[in-house]
C-alpha cells in the first residue's frame, strides 16, 4: 500500500521561486515505488491549485497551467473522511502526509502547519510553535538569550515606532551597535530585504527597505566571520550533521550570491577544527530543542574572524532543499543520501 504524499510548493512569500526549485528536486528524487505523489501549487497571489504536473513544470512555473479542473482541496473536514482532494467525479484522493516545501512567511512560519494540525494530516518538519519562533528573528533571539546561546548584539523596531521617530531609533541603534550593521525584516528568508549598512543614512534606508517585507525589523551588529551551517534531523532524538561552510562570492551572502551569481562556494566539512565543529553541532541540537523543533532544520552560525567567538545566527525550519542545497549536502557528507533523507523525513512526520 503506497502512501499518498502531497508536495506543496510556491507560496506568496518572497521565496516563491526558491520553493519551486526545492520542490522539483524532491519530486525527482522521491521513491515512486513507495509513494503516490500529488502536487499542490500556491501561486504568488495566494491561490491554491491541485495540479497534474511533474518536476519540470514545477521548476519552470508552468504548473499553473496544469490545474486539475473541478478539483477541490478539502483540508478542513466538513464531514468524516472528507479530508483530501476531491476530484471532478466526486471521488476523494486521500492525503496521508504533506511535505510543505515552502520557504518564508505562510510556509515556514507555523501558519500552514496550523492548517495541517486542524486537518489532522501528518506533515514534514517543525510544528506550529517551532516554525513561528524560528521565522521571527526577534522572538527567536529572545528565546536564545534566555537559553544563554551566544548571539551578536541587536536592537529592533516596528513600523509604528519607527515611522514615528526614525532618528530616535537610529540613536538607539548607534548607542548599542557599531557600523556596519545588518537590517533585516523579522520574518523572511533567502536574505530578502536584508541590507548591510555603514552610516546613519544607510541605516534608515535599510530599516525602511526591511519594513517593505514585515512590520518588524531587527538591526544586528555586523561582524567579520566565517559562516558555518549544521543540519539537524529527528524528533525527540536529534542528530546533527557534519558542519559545512559558506563562502559567499559577494560582500555578504545576499539573494544574488545565494541563487543568481552561481559563484558562491560551499565547503564540506567546514574548514574548522574538530573540537570547534563538535561544539557547534552541540549548540545546533540545543537551539533546535529549545524551540521544540521536529523533523528538519538547518542551523546557521558565525565564527568571528578576530576572536574565534561562535555566534548562533538563525534556524531555518524548511531550508533550501535542492540536491545541491546545503541541507541535503550536509547529510550526504554525513552518510545519508538525498532519497533516503526524504524517506526519513516522511517517517519522522508520521511519528510526530
Residue 253 binding target from ligand ATP, Mg ion, none, CB below 5 to 8 Å by type: ligand ATP
Provide the minimum distance between the beta carbon of 254 and Mg ion in the complex, in angstroms, as a whole number: 11
Which C-beta is closer to Mg ion: that of 132 or that of 316? 316
Residue 13 binding target from ligand ATP, Mg ion, none, CB below 5 to 8 Å by type: none
CB 39 within 8 A of CB 9: yes
Which C-beta is closer to ligand ATP: that of 194 or that of 232? 194
Distance CA 20, CA 63 (A): 10
Cα distances (Å, whole numbers) of residue 236 to 14, 126, 232, 289, 296: 32, 12, 12, 8, 12
Q: Tell me the residue nearest to Mg ion as measured from the CB.
A: 189
Which C-beta is closer to ligand ATP: that of 194 or that of 345? 194
Residue 96 binding target from Mg ion, ligand ATP, none, CB below 5 to 8 Å by type: none
Contact residues for ligand ATP, defined by CB under 6 A: 152, 182, 184, 188-191, 194, 220-223, 225, 227, 248, 252-253, 300, 313-314, 316
Provide the minimum distance between the beta carbon of 195 and Mg ion in the complex, in angstroms, as a whole number: 15
Which C-beta is closer to ligand ATP: that of 166 or that of 248? 248
Beta-ladder partners of 303: 226, 310
SS3 265: strand
Residue 194 binding target from ligand ATP, Mg ion, none, CB below 5 to 8 Å by type: ligand ATP
CB 272 within 8 A of CB 129: no
Cα distances (Å, whole numbers) of residue 298 to 38, 67, 131, 242, 330: 26, 32, 12, 12, 10
Which C-beta is closer to ligand ATP: that of 57 or that of 220? 220
**All residues at 6 or more sequence positions from 262 whose CB lies less than 8 Å from its CB, including other chains:** none
Provide the minimum distance between the beta carbon of 30 and ligand ATP in the complex, in angstroms, as a whole number: 23
Checking 142-145 for CB contacts under 8 A at 24+ apart, the result is 143/290, 143/291, 144/287, 144/290, 144/312
Contact residues for Mg ion, defined by CB under 5 A: 189, 300, 314, 316
Provide the minimum distance between the beta carbon of 226 and ligand ATP in the complex, in angstroms, as a whole number: 10
- The angle, 0 to 180 degrees and rounded to 10, between the axes of the packed helices 326-334 and 338-351 is 100
Question: Please, how many CA atoms are within 13 Å of residue 47, restricted to the half-sphere of its CB?
Answer: 7
CB 146 within 8 A of CB 287: no
Which C-beta is closer to Mg ion: that of 204 or that of 280? 280
Residue 142 sits at the vertex; the CA angle it makes with 202 and 258, to the nearest 5 degrees, is 50
Provide the minimum distance between the beta carbon of 316 and ligand ATP in the complex, in angstroms, as a whole number: 5
Which C-beta is closer to Mg ion: that of 74 or that of 190? 190
Provide the minimum distance between the beta carbon of 270 and ligand ATP in the complex, in angstroms, as a whole number: 14
Which C-beta is closer to ligand ATP: that of 208 or that of 347? 208
Residue 207 binding target from ligand ATP, Mg ion, none, CB below 5 to 8 Å by type: none
Cα distances (Å, whole numbers) of residue 203 to 183, 254, 263: 7, 17, 28
Provide the minimum distance between the beta carbon of 282 and Mg ion in the complex, in angstroms, as a whole number: 20
Residue 152 binding target from ligand ATP, Mg ion, none, CB below 5 to 8 Å by type: ligand ATP
Provide the minimum distance between the beta carbon of 37 and Mg ion in the complex, in angstroms, as a whole number: 24
Distance CA 250, CA 180 (A): 16
Amino acid at each position: 500500500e503506497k502512501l499518498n504524499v502531497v508536495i506543496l510548493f510556491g507560496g506568496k512569500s518572497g521565496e516563491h521561486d526558491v520553493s519551486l526549485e526545492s520542490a522539483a528536486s524532491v519530486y525527482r528524487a522521491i521513491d515512486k515505488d513507495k509513494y503516490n505523489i500529488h502536487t499542490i501549487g500556491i501561486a504568488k497571489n495566494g491561490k491554491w491549485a491541485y495540479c497534474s504536473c511533474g518536476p519540470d513544470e514545477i521548476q519552470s512555473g508552468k504548473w499553473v497551467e496544469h490545474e486539475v479542473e473541478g478539483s477541490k482541496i478539502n483540508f478542513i473536514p466538513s464531514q468524516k473522511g472528507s479530508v483530501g482532494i476531491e476530484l471532478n467525479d466526486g471521488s476523494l484522493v486521500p492525503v496521508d502526509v504533506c511535505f510543505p516545501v515552502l520557504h518564508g512567511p505562510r510556509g515556514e512560519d507555523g501558519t500552514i502547519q496550523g492548517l495541517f494540525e486542524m486537518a489532522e494530516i501528518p506533515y514534514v518538519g517543525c510544528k506550529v510553535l517551532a516554525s513561528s519562533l524560528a521565522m521571527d528573528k526577534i522572538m527567536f533571539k529572545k528565546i536564545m538569550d534566555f537559553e544563554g546561546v551566544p548571539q551578536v548584539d541587536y536592537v529592533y523596531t516596528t513600523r509604528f515606532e519607527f515611522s514615528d521617530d526614525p532618528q530616535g531609533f537610529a540613536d538607539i541603534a548607534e548607542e548599542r551597535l557599531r557600523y556596519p550593521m545588518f537590517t533585516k525584516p523579522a520574518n523572511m528568508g533567502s536574505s530578502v530585504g536584508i541590507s548591510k549598512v555603514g552610516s546613519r543614512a544607510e541605516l534608515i534606508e535599510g530599516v525602511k527597505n526591511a519594513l517593505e517585507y514585515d512590520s518588524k525589523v531587527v538591526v544586528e551588529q555586523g561582524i567579520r566571520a566565517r559562516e558555518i551551517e549544521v543540519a539537524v534531523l529527528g524528533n525527540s532524538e536529534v542528530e546533527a550533521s557534519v558542519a559545512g561552510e559558506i563562502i559567499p562570492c559577494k560582500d555578504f551572502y545576499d539573494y544574488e550570491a545565494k541563487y543568481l551569481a552561481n559563484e558562491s562556494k560551499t565547503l564540506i566539512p567546514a574548514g574548522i577544527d574538530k573540537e570547534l565543529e563538535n561544539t557547534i553541532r552541540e549548540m545546533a541540537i540545543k537551539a533546535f530543542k529549545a524551540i521544540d523543533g521536529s523533523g528538519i532544520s538547518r542551523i546557521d552560525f558565525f565564527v568571528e574572524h578576530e576572536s574565534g567567538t561562535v555566534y548562533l545566527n538563525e534556524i531555518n525550519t524548511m531550508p533550501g532543499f535542492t540536491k545541491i542545497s546545503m541541507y541535503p549536502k550536509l547529510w550526504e557528507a554525513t552518510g545519508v543520501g538525498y532519497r533516503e533523507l526524504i524517506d526519513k523525513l516522511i517517517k519522522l512526520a508520521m511519528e510526530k
